[in-house]
């Protein structure tokens, strides 16, 4: 993605308004969540890469419970590349989809050894060539391990709340990322998903959003529509 694009089909004045509101929302969320950061525990780019692969369809909290033992047993890409898939499966079983994840981890590390001498590459093009690595995983690693704003990480919280905020109407993560990249300043691409994720866990909860406690409710078009609808019913 690389740079801010122009959102197709959006009037320039409307786009400028969206960008202004996005900046205000980000600034407010920074005040609300000053400690927001990646929830996965890691000590190296390799550990973050593996942890992110494990986080698919699994909570970060659960991943953080299994990775210490995994990384003690297999501390390097070379060790993981040579590992028995069945042994990896046993260590990561509680993360769900453990068979496919174990295969992806071993394949990924074999590719790391073959193509990069065991070192995690620093471009999205090279990362997505590794087994089990898509745009989301690549963006997580580049942004958090290397500080490289290659794109906007889109998980379920980011996609859901971005739709509520009127930043996108799309559901496909790649399309959502394109929309967000056109609205969010590039300097905020790495931080923005953390703010969305924390807000989604703490307040804007999918099943029971606490809108009355939301610090950005006045800037949320979905909340304003709900209020107008309730007033009309009265």
Q: What band does 2 get if pLDDT is binned at 50, 70 and 90? A: low
- The answer to whether the pTM exceeds 0.85 is yes
Q: Does the domain formed by 152-233 have CATH 3.50.50.60?
A: no
Q: Which CATH class, in words, describes the domain spanning 45-145?
A: mainly alpha
What pLDDT does 131 receive? 83
pLDDT digits (tens, 9 = 90+) for 29-49: 999 999 999 999 999 999 999
Domain ranges of the chain: 45-145, 152-233
Question: What does the block give as tokens for 53?
Answer: 């692969």
Catalytic residue among 101, 136, 179, 188: 136
Instruction: Determine the pLDDT at residue 112.
Output: 98
Give pLDDT tens digits for 43-92. 999 999 999 999 999 999 999 999 999 999 999 999 999 999 999 999 99
Give residue-wise pLDDT tens across range 153-193. 999 999 999 999 999 999 999 999 999 999 999 999 999 99
Identical fold between 45-145 and 152-233: no
- Residue 194's closest CA among 5, 24, 29? 29
Q: Quick one: which of 165, 171, 98, 172 has its CA closest to 132?
A: 98
Q: Which of 47, 53, 46 is nearest to 69 (CA)?
A: 47
Q: Which of 103, 155, 186, 226 is catalytic?
A: 155
Residue-level pLDDT at 24: 98
Q: Tell me whether residue 136 is one of the annotated catalytic residues.
A: yes
């Amino acid at each position: 993605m690389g740079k801010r694009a122009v959102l197709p089909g959006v009037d320039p004045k409307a786009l400028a308004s969206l960008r202004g509101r996005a900046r205000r929302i980000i600034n407010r969320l920074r005040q609300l969540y000053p400690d927001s950061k990646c929830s996965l525990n890691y000590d190296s780019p390799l550990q973050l890469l593996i942890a992110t692969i494990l986080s698919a369809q699994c909570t970060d909290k659960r991943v953080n419970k299994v990775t210490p033992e995994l990384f003690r047993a297999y501390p390097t890409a070379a060790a993981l590349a040579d590992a028995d898939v069945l042994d990896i499966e046993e260590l990561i079983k509680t993360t769900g989809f453990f068979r496919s994840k174990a295969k992806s981890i071993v394949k990924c590390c074999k590719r790391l050894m073959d193509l990069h001498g065991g070192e995690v590459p620093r471009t999205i093009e090279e990362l997505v060539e590794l087994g089990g690595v898509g745009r989301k995983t690549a963006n997580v690693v580049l942004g958090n391990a290397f500080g490289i704003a290659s794109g906007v990480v889109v998980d379920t919280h980011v996609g859901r709340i971005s739709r509520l905020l009127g930043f996108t109407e799309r559901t496909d993560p790649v399309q959502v990322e394109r929309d967000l990249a056109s609205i969010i300043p590039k300097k905020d691409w790495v931080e923005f998903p953390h703010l969305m994720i924390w807000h989604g866990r703490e307040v804007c909860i999918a099943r029971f959003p606490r809108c009355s406690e939301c610090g950005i409710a006045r800037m949320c078009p979905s909340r304003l529509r709900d209020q107008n609808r309730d007033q009309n019913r009265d």
